[in-house]
Chains A and B, each alone.
Chain A
């Protein structure tokens, strides 16, 4: 008899190491063990080069660990092939990048609906879901604008809408506020926080900005690729 889906943590990182090949082999992540539960609003903290982005890439299956194992909902994803990983990301993960990374030739709503296009969702259903996601991020009036006609903050909110449109179990955000001014960055964090609180979206994001980190309920500290501790904030 199979276990219920919630019998496992959402993410388990077990003894993960990532060494980049080359002349001087650099260990970007060293022996990391980490567990993320459903509904968390967790930040990876650390200075530049501490391994935050690498660890997010590994958890997001965008890269493979040199050593160790990563499990999503009890499933070891490190052993999946490229197609299986793509399918897994399509179903279970959402991404928000530091520099927004919207497709410049598509409008806001077309960008948001793209994960659903890849999933083969019909045009009407996916368009409705994309509009709803844009509504959640407060951009329903900007659906038909291309990214170059949106501000940085608006672009990042479109990216958040794209990350949540298919209702993933986990949204990974790599320095999501780094390219935004403090006010816009705070507004984005408000948005992420409300999506977490009201819609139960699990967020794992990275930052080195204390103001951003103070908004997380759990902060995991990294230094030179290794976990150095964590703190919990009550809200």
Chain B
């Protein structure tokens, strides 16, 4: 049967080639779209967690906005020990993140002050990599690193002094002089125009909160473990007012973007699958119409109706197999090429306001999704053949033999 089916597939070579090409390029387009979307999402997550959020955070549960915790943990040592003890944690650091005022001789501006442990933060985020002038905060107890845009607006340069002000623990305004030791350029308006970085100890002194922090941020060995690690830590922290969150519950807008993109991708996939199905349905109906008499002959010499159905399904499966292999090959080649060369996507600029996001996306294969697409194209091919195949099985031999 397979031999007959294979020869039947190539009986009308041009039509089969067009079909295989439609299937193959449709599948390649699906794989490319899946990879592009997942790579974009992957880079978005990497940048969001890698430039500030971290993979898991321990902070107060009763904050208004988890992304910007405004309440302090007075005794973070117990939580810190949990992070130290967890083998899944690669590195973690204490932080205070607070809105405040940066004053230069000519101007004052509101800013998000991020107080960090410089030596740990270096491994926790990639912000040090964006430095264009000066150094990071290591060995600079009164140093400040800021973005190019805020520095320009304040009209300050490397080595000049600024005053940082924030509300202290007793309600008064704490103020301290810092020297600009580094200027970064990330390309993001939020990072370059609103954020300044100082050592944690200096911030605790400024606020009159020795030893206190408002978050412990951790980077894991495997980001996919974030939910599990957060859940475990949260359980160990107990029912108090300090809890653990994974990045998914902090960067919720990324999850929203991801859901939107996944929805869009599903619609596009549905359309492509429908096109493939209609193509196959059309081919098989044409093929059936051309071979009614031949099917009559097969029935006359003793082929059962279900054998005829199976023959058409095997033909379709072979066609689907060739199309799927072609699609996998072309799709993999495209992903490999754009994984090396990168794909310049203007959509990257859309995220730049919020994040240091590159406009070039490097495609990575999403094998699970690609396998799903391949199986679906194959199954859709078979399903589309089912109506003509069942119709063929219902043919009456004498009528089929009379068919011209």
B391 sits at the interface (CB 8 A): no
A95 and B305 in contact (CB under 8 A), knowing A62-B401, A105-B8? Answer: no
Pick from B239-247, B255-263, B291-299, B319-327 the stretch touching chain A. B291-299
B18 sits at the interface (CB 8 A): no
Chain B 369-404 per-residue mask, 1 if CB under 8 angstroms from chain A, else 0: 000000000000000000000000000111001000
Residues of A near B8 (CB, < 8 A) are 105
Identify the closest chain A residue to B294 (Cβ): A103
Bound-state Cα–Cα, A89 to B303, Å: 9
* Pairs of residues from A and B, 5 with the lowest C-beta to C-beta distance, nearest first: A90-B302, A105-B7, A63-B398, A62-B397, A62-B398
Residues of A near B340 (CB, < 8 A) are none
| B266-306, CB < 8 A from A | 293-294, 296-306
Choose from B7, B301, B302, B304 the contact partner of A106 (Cβ within 8 Å): B7
Q: Check B7–A87 contact: CB distance below 8 A.
A: no
A63 and B397 in contact (CB under 8 A), knowing A95-B300, A101-B297, A119-B302? Answer: yes
Bound-state Cα–Cα, A54 to B110, Å: 97
Bound-state Cα–Cα, A114 to B294, Å: 13
Binding site for B on A (CB under 8 A): 57, 60, 62-63, 82-83, 86-87, 89-91, 94-95, 97, 101, 103-106, 110, 114-115, 117-119, 162
Chain B 1-18 per-residue mask, 1 if CB under 8 angstroms from chain A, else 0: 101100110010000000
Residues of A near B367 (CB, < 8 A) are none
Bound-state Cα–Cα, A91 to B301, Å: 9
5 new A-B pairs (CB below 8 Å) besides A83-B306, A90-B303, A106-B4? A62-B401, A63-B396, A83-B305, A114-B298, A162-B301
B307 sits at the interface (CB 8 A): yes
Q: Check A97–B401 contact: CB distance below 8 A.
A: yes
Residues of B near A117 (CB, < 8 A) are 1
A89 and B7 in contact (CB under 8 A), knowing A63-B397, A97-B401, A118-B307? Answer: no
Q: Check B302–A105 contact: CB distance below 8 A.
A: no
Q: Check B398–A95 contact: CB distance below 8 A.
A: no
A87 and B304 in contact (CB under 8 A), knowing A105-B8, A106-B7? Answer: yes
A118 and B297 in contact (CB under 8 A), knowing A62-B398, A63-B396, A105-B7? Answer: no
Identify the closest chain A residue to B8 (Cβ): A105
Identify the closest chain B residue to A57 (Cβ): B398
Bound-state Cα–Cα, A119 to B304, Å: 11
Q: Check A104–B302 contact: CB distance below 8 A.
A: no
Q: Check A86–B293 contact: CB distance below 8 A.
A: no
Residues of B near A89 (CB, < 8 A) are 300-302
Q: How far is the CB of B43 from chain A (nearest CB, A)?
A: 51
Q: Check A86–B398 contact: CB distance below 8 A.
A: no
6 intermolecular pairs with C-beta atoms under 8 Å apart = A62-B299, A62-B396, A86-B302, A95-B301, A101-B293, A118-B302
Residues of A near B304 (CB, < 8 A) are 82-83, 86-87
Residues of B near A91 (CB, < 8 A) are 302
Residues of A near B301 (CB, < 8 A) are 89-90, 94-95, 114-115, 118, 162
Q: How far is the CB of B330 from chain A (nearest CB, A)?
A: 28
Identify the closest chain A residue to B305 (Cβ): A82
Bound-state Cα–Cα, A162 to B298, Å: 12
Q: How far is the CB of A130 from chain B (nearest CB, A)?
A: 13
Bound-state Cα–Cα, A114 to B398, Å: 19
Choose from B294, B300, B306 the contact partner of A60 (Cβ within 8 Å): B300
Q: How far is the CB of B293 from chain A (nearest CB, A)?
A: 7
Residues of A near B3 (CB, < 8 A) are 110
Residues of B near A162 (CB, < 8 A) are 301
Q: Check A103–B4 contact: CB distance below 8 A.
A: yes
Q: Check A86–B303 contact: CB distance below 8 A.
A: yes
A101 and B397 in contact (CB under 8 A), knowing A114-B301, A162-B301? Answer: no
Residues of A near B306 (CB, < 8 A) are 83
Which of B8, B11, B299, B398 is packed against the most chain A CB atoms within 10 Å? B398
Which of B3, B301, B398 is packed against the most chain A CB atoms within 10 Å? B301
